[in-house]
Amino acid sequence: MIGNDVIDLEILLSENWDTSRYLNKLFLPTEQEFIFHSAEPNIYLQLLWSLKEAAYKAHQRRFNLSRAYNPLQFSSQVYSETKNELLGKVETGNAIYQTSSIISKDHIHSIAREDTKDLIKSIFETPIDLKKEILLEYSRLYSIPIKELSIQKNENQIPFLYRNKLKLEIDFSFSHHGKFSAFILALTNS
Amino acid sequence: MFSFMIESNHIPSTDFIMTEIAILEKIKKIVTPYVQRKEGLEDFNDSTDFLVDLKINSANLVDVILDVEDEFNIEIDTTSMDGMLTAGDAKRIILNKMDN
């Protein structure tokens, strides 16, 4: 399973971001240490938040979990940083999700995944109908008429792709923040 | 005296209902600055979902929680925070904490 999260860096995450009351509700002590030992705490805070969000989406989808606001149950870390990519992982219970992120001047995008299947990633900087974009992408990839495709959310607000009335076992994830929208779509190995 | 107290547990008093409405109003005021879908505020009630109906950013839900803590002089622990998805959830948590 996969999850993704995009963050528009032009939007201040929170006015309280550097207060301990705020931090202690969102981040574990190890995470706070990493954030405040980094060159840009404000950016790395948002990076770790995006890891947690991406992993939450993958985890919720994997087990069809009901929604919960439990960021402290997701422990994130970044262990490798190059100019182009930051690699890390998020642990929750017994589950581990590998993450990869990019930080650009105006946004952060993170992907969390349980496996290493290939995926397609698209990030948009202008307001866009994300559902339509993912349907178009899927329609092109598998040569299915777009009018046969739709997206519906289940009882836990998790989105699924349908072909007519058939629910497809296709793994994907959406994210919106500020002017940014992003999706990832796993490719089926057939 | 004792039987009266038991009675009052079963039939919510007007005061109690007033409190619930007042709490809901305060919650509405607290969340308003963080709401990205303003039409979600028009019919603000127990089932109003902070993320789905009001499109509050998940990183701002903590700001809401901090403001609730300050307004009602309570502390919302991690377990309570876990289930705070709707205005009704928040109201129940507040009532619960205020009782203790």
Residue B88 has a pLDDT of 97
Q: Smallest Cα–Cα separation from B23: which of B53, B46, B39, B55?
A: B46
Residue B2 has a pLDDT of 46
Residues of chain A found within 8 Å of residue B82, distances taken between Cβ atoms: 68-70
Residue bearing tokens 């860096």:
A9
CA A182 to chain B, closest CA, distance in angstroms equals 16
- Taking CB atoms and an 8 Å limit, are A67 and B65 in contact across chains? no
| Position B4 pLDDT exceeds 70 | no
A98 pairs with which residues across the strands? A89, A113
> Is residue B60, in this structure, part of any structural domain at all?
yes
For residue A29, give both structure tokens.
């002590």
- Taking CB atoms and an 8 Å limit, are B83 and A15 in contact across chains? no
- Taking CB atoms and an 8 Å limit, are B59 and A14 in contact across chains? yes
A70 — contact with chain B (CB < 8 Å)? yes
Q: How many CB atoms lie within 10 A of CB B86?
A: 20
Distance, in Å, from the CA atom of B27 to the CA atom of B49, rounded to the nearest integer, reads 12
> Is residue B83, in this structure, part of any structural domain at all?
yes
| Position B8 pLDDT exceeds 70 | no
**By residue range, what is the domain housing residue B32?**
14-99
User: Cα separations (Å) of A159 from A119, A154, A168, B6?
Assistant: 17, 6, 11, 47
Residue bearing tokens 């709401």:
B35
- Taking CB atoms and an 8 Å limit, are A25 and B81 in contact across chains? yes
Mean pLDDT of B41-59: 95
> Is residue B31, in this structure, part of any structural domain at all?
yes
B19 — contact with chain A (CB < 8 Å)? no
- Taking CB atoms and an 8 Å limit, are B62 and A25 in contact across chains? yes
- Taking CB atoms and an 8 Å limit, are A157 and B52 in contact across chains? yes
Dump pLDDT digits (tens) for A175-186: 999 999 999 999
User: In terms of CA atoms, which chain A residue is nearest residue B50?
Assistant: A69
Dump pLDDT digits (tens) for A57-80: 999 999 999 999 999 999 999 999
Label residue A127 by pLDDT band (50, 70, 90). confident
Label residue B10 by pLDDT band (50, 70, 90). low
Mean pLDDT, chain A, rounded, equals: 95
Mean pLDDT of B52-80: 94
Can you name the CATH fold of A2-186?
A: Ribosomal Protein L22; Chain A (3.90.470)
Label residue B3 by pLDDT band (50, 70, 90). very low
User: In terms of CA atoms, which chain B residue is nearest residue A68?
Assistant: B82
Mean pLDDT of A100-122: 95
Residue B89 maps to which CATH number?
A: 1.10.1200.10
A62-93 in b/e form (b: 16+ CB < 10 A) is beeeebebbbbebbbbbeeeeeeebebbbebe
Q: How many CB atoms lie within 10 A of CB A36?
A: 12
Point out the residue among B52, B59, B83 whose CB comes nearest to the CB of A13: B59
Mean pLDDT of A145-173: 96
> Helix-strand-coil percent breakdown of chain B, rounded to 5?
65, 0, 30
> Is residue B6, in this structure, part of any structural domain at all?
no
User: Cα separations (Å) of A178 from A9, A142, B3, B66, B92?
Assistant: 9, 31, 57, 23, 31
Give Dmax (Cα) for chain A. Answer: 52
Which of A51-60, A102-111, B74-83 shows the lowest per-residue confidence on average (mean pLDDT)? B74-83
Q: How many CA atoms lie within 13 A of B28 on its CB side?
A: 17
Residues of chain A found within 8 Å of residue B81, distances taken between Cβ atoms: 25, 69-70
> Is residue B9, in this structure, part of any structural domain at all?
no
Residue B16 has a pLDDT of 66
Total domains, chain B: 1
- Taking CB atoms and an 8 Å limit, are B85 and A67 in contact across chains? yes
User: In terms of CA atoms, which chain B residue is nearest residue A157?
Assistant: B52
Task: Based on DSSP, count helices (H) and strands (E) in chain A, helices before strands.
Answer: 4, 11
